Amino acid sequence: MPGFFQPVEEISGIKPFEGFPVEFSRGSLSALVSTDELAGSILAHTLLSEALRSGKAYHVGPKRIFSPSILRTFGVEPSSLLSANVYSAEDLVKALDYVEEGSTVLVSQFPTLTGVSQETLLELRKRADEGSLTLVLHHGTLSFNELDLPGEFARFFLVPELFDSLIVLRTNSYRGHYKLNVTVLKAPPEQIASLGDHSIPVDSIVKTITGK
């Protein structure tokens, strides 16, 4: 069928910040879980800031997880970020109709949306591919079984096999110094070396977010 197959190309992506183990590229679908509020805030503000520096960025979800004033401290203009409140999988898919091709889209609290199904995930995978979107689905939770990461991703995201990246984020602090602990359960083929556990110093990021 003419046009069914497309040439394979190298696709550039973005990292939330220098030292983060995975790059999110256009045409990708990623799932991230943060197990504390600070880890979720670090993800949201750094990812959206980097996305705004390189193009359009969108936030979609039932709960806003970013602060315009904090985004300004990262050196970006929050008025360039477009946000939409959605409460169902159907509305999420409809919202993507208004997203510009090649943009970054952060979806917050994805598993809490009503009507999420395998068909929803397949449609999101299709939208990411066809629109060259950097589509990141995030969930912040305090209830997470660290001993069964595959089971937890299946519980929250139903079909983890459809995702390019599966990542868990947590923060810890000791004597006023902060680290972001990142477990990469799944990564794109060219980033396979990033699989495993990473501990990244994030004092400057935490200071920017908290002002302390």
The CATH number that applies at residue 135 is 3.40.50.300
Closest CA to 82 of 118, 114, 106: 106
| Domain hosting residue 190, numbered range | 22-210
Q: What is the pLDDT of residue 54?
A: 85
Kindly indicate the confidence band of residue 4, based on its pLDDT and cuts at 50, 70 and 90: low
**Domain assignment of residue 14, yes or no:** no
What is the pTM for the complete model shown? 0.94
Other CB atoms within a 10 A radius of the CB of residue 192 amount to 10
Kindly indicate the confidence band of residue 3, based on its pLDDT and cuts at 50, 70 and 90: low
Please name the helix (run of DSSP H) or strand (run of DSSP E) that holds residue 78, with its range, or none: none
Residue 115 pLDDT more than 90? yes
Kindly indicate the confidence band of residue 13, based on its pLDDT and cuts at 50, 70 and 90: confident
Domain count, the chain: 1
Residue 9 pLDDT more than 80? no
**Domain assignment of residue 2, yes or no:** no
Are 51 and 104 within 8 A, CB to CB?
yes
Alpha carbons 15 and 50: distance in angstroms, whole number: 7
User: Which pLDDT tens digit goes with each residue over 45-72?
Assistant: 999 999 999 888 999 999 999 999 999 9
